[in-house]
Structure 1
Amino acid sequence: MASLSAVKNKDREGWLALFAEDAVVEDPVGPCDWDPEGKGQRGKGAIAAFYDMFSTFQESLDYEIHHMEVRGSEAAVFLTLHNTMKDGTKASTKAINIYKGSPDGKIQSLRSFWNA
Structure 2
Amino acid sequence: MFSHHCTEVTMKDTPHLAVEANKKSIQYAMEGNKEGWLALYTDDAVVSDPVGKSPMDPAGNGHQGKAAIERFWDTVIGKANIEIRADKRWTSGDYHCCVAQVARNDLGDGNFTECDMLAVYEVNEEGLIVRMGAHWDFDNMMEQLAKVSAG
TM-score by length of 1: 0.92
Query: For the residues of structure 1 that align with 2:61 and 2:109, how far apart are their CA atoms?
Result: 29
1:77 corresponds to which of 99, 102, 108: 99
Question: Using the alignment, how far apart are the partners of 1:87 and 1:38 within structure 2?
Answer: 33
Higher helix content, 1 or 2: 2
Report the counterpart of residue 67 of structure 1 in structure 2: 88
Q: Distance in 2 between matches of 1:114 and 1:49?
A: 20
Task: Give the CA deviation at 1:64.
Answer: 1.5
How far apart, in 2, do the equivalents of 1:55 and 1:79 lie?
A: 15
Shift of 1:70: 1.4
4+ residue segments displaced more than 4 Å? none
Q: 1:55 to 1:87 in 2, by over 3 A?
A: farther
Alignment of 1:1-116 (within 5 A): 1-55=23-77, 57-58=79-80, 60-71=81-92, 72-85=94-107, 89-115=111-137, 116=141
Distance in 1 of aligned mates of 2:90 and 2:121: 11
Residue identity over aligned pairs, in percent, reads: 29
Matched residue of 1:39: which SS?
Answer: coil
**Deviation for aligned residue 1:52:** 0.2
CA distance in 2, matches of 1:56, 1:14: 12
Q: Larger radius of gyration, structure 1 or 2?
A: 2
Following TM superposition, by how much is the alpha carbon of 1:102 offset from its aligned partner in structure 2, in angstroms? 1.6
Which ranges in structure 2 are unaligned for 5 or more consecutive residues? 1-22, 142-151
Cα shift at 1:56: 6.2
**Structure 2 length-normalised TM:** 0.71
For 1:87 and 1:22, the matched residues in 2 are separated by: 39
Q: Select the structure that is richer in strand.
A: 1
Change (3 A) 1:94 1:44: same
Structure 1 CA distance, aligned partners of 2:55 and 2:110?
21
Q: Are the structure 2 counterparts of residues 37 and 87 from structure 1 closer, same or farther at C-alpha, using a change threshold of 3 Å?
A: farther
CA distance in 2, matches of 1:23, 1:79: 21
**Structure 1, residues 10-67: CA drift from partner, whole Å, max 9, x if none?**
0000000000110000000000011111111000000000000015642x11021111
Structure 1 residues 56 and 79, CA gap change in structure 2 (3 angstroms): closer
What SS does structure 2 have at the residue aligned with 1:51? helix
